[in-house]
Chain A
Amino acid sequence: AQSVTQLGSHVSVSEGALVLLRCNYSSSVPPYLFWYVQYPNQGLQLLLKYTSAATLVKGINGFEAEFKKSETSFHLTKTSAHMSDAAEYFCAVSFSGGYQKVTFGTGTKLQVIP
């Protein structure tokens, strides 16, 4: 069965520092991978997705993620954290080529310290 594991339920970074949120997936076939962000008391917003094209995917708000098949990873990064990045981030996987059947990770809460 497909699954994703997010390492670290809470991550704290200083404003201006590198953001690194980890995601590893389990899959026997090439997956589609997604990162979502959820701001407090809001719904989810898609940050970026990997669909078997370029392995380095750029998303919104300066985030990017790199698909590494050998490591079964899809870590999310941002070079310089901003206070507005404080939110919960979810990694997700799908084999269906779209959003039909999606399995989410348990989430990582990002705290940005001024």
Chain B
Amino acid sequence: EAQVTQNPRYLITVTGKKLTVTCSQNMNHEYMSWYRQDPGLGLRQIYYSMNVEVTDKGDVPEGYKVSRKEKRNFPLILESPSPNQTSLYFCASSPPLAGENPKTQYFGPGTRLLVL
């Protein structure tokens, strides 16, 4: 089954304690992205990756890091989390060409993060 998995699904942490949210896809997709979703703001892209070792900033990259050492994995790292990073985070993956099939981008189930 094609899927994007994220772990953990829920996380409560304290300010300044480094954390990593993992993302893995089993579809051999080149492209992967991280988004955060906040009420009234929709989804905002944090980082994206076009392939292994190729990453770039999205609209709200401050306070986040990513790495893409393997094609299937795209972890999101918060080196020193702050309360304003409390949010719902989504990972997504897709092939490089949009194509005409609408079901070509897959989202993970989301990670709900609370930073105290």
Where the two chains meet, the residues of A that have a C-beta atom closer than 8 Å to any C-beta of B are 9, 32, 42-49, 51, 53, 59-60, 90, 92, 97-107
Contact = CB atoms under 8 A, between A and B. Distances in A.
B33 A100 contact: yes
B50 interface: yes
Given A60-B102, A90-B43, A43 B107 contact: yes
Interface residues of B, number: 29
B109 A99 contact: no
Interface stretch (B12-20, B63-71, B77-85, B92-100): B92-100
A75 to B, nearest CB: 17
B105 interface: yes
15 contacts: A43-B107, A44-B43, A44-B107, A46-B103, A49-B102, A51-B100, A60-B103, A90-B43, A98-B96, A98-B97, A98-B98, A100-B56, A101-B48, A104-B35, A106-B41
Contacts of B33: 99-100, 102
B94 A106 contact: no
Contacts of A51: 98, 100
Contacts of B1: none
B108 interface: yes
A97 to B, nearest CB: 7
Given A32-B98, A98-B98, A99-B98, A46 B42 contact: no
